[in-house]
């Protein structure tokens, strides 16, 4: 990222991101691709549709999987095009993203579309095999913990992306770490 001639920020990275809300502003009036048709992908595409010239949503299934209300809002957007039954095979470019190669999963045909950026929004799977039998997890495998980072096992605290929470970003993981340390100190004082 650098300051441009007119004083605005210019994005000088390659153009692949994982957080539309964090990096979407760099694609104002440009074309972007969002990979994923669940809630994360749809909310990312909705956000981008307000600032981008064109937003493609690439989804590997024949219908979106997100909440019905979000899907309806997305499909109303004139600058959004949903590409169903399709996966991204390749992201092309030199210093920055220039296009994506898409493959239709039903007939294996490929197409290439020009884009300035790609946002991967296909969800995450927590890597918690070490803890899954120790503490309570939700249906997606995230460790259930409150805002103090306390889990179902007395004296066991969790911070970061393994914890149940609505937003998974570095800033929330750091905040979890601070909360967990404070909670552990409190727990140890009471022993």
Task: Assess contact for 38 and 62: CB atoms under 8 A.
Answer: no
Catalytic residue numbers read 19, 22-23
Specify the pTM: 0.73
For residue range 114-150, what is the model confidence (pLDDT) as tens digits?
Answer: 999 999 998 778 888 889 899 999 988 899 999 999 9
* Per-residue confidence band for 5, with pLDDT thresholds at 50, 70 and 90: very low
| Residue pLDDT, tens place only, 27-59 | 999 999 999 999 889 999 999 999 999 999 999
Q: Is the CB of residue 35 less than 8 Å from the CB of residue 82?
A: no
> Tell me, what's the pLDDT at 82?
98
Which of the 8 DSSP states describes residue 142?
P
Residue 14: per-residue pLDDT: 75
Token pair for residue 2?
């650098």
Q: Using CA atoms, how far apart are residues 1 and 90, in angstroms rounded to an integer? A: 24
Rounded Cα–Cα distance for residues 117 and 17 (Å): 8
- 80 φ, ψ (degrees, to nearest 5): -110, 135
Band of residue 190 on the pLDDT scale cut at 50, 70, 90: very high
């Amino acid at each position: 990222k650098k300051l441009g001639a007119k004083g605005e920020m210019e994005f000088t990275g390659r153009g692949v991101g994982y957080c539309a809300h964090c990096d979407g502003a760099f694609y104002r009036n440009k074309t972007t691709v969002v990979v994923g048709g669940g809630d994360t992908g749809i909310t990312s595409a909705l956000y981008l549709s307000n600032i981008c010239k064109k937003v493609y949503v690439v989804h590997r299934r024949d219908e979106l999987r997100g909440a019905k209300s979000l899907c309806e809002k997305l499909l109303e957007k004139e600058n959004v095009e949903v590409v169903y039954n399709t996966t991204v095979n390749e992201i092309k470019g030199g210093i920055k993203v220039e296009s994506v190669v898409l493959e239709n999963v039903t007939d294996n045909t490929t197409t290439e579309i020009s884009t300035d950026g790609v946002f991967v929004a296909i969800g995450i799977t927590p890597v918690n095999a070490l803890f899954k039998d120790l503490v309570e997890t939700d249906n997606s495998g995230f460790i259930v913990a409150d805002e103090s980072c306390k889990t179902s096992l007395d004296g066991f605290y969790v911070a970061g992306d393994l914890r149940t929470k609505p937003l998974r970003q570095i800033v929330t993981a750091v905040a979890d770490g601070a909360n967990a340390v404070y909670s552990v100190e409190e727990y140890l004082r009471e022993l």
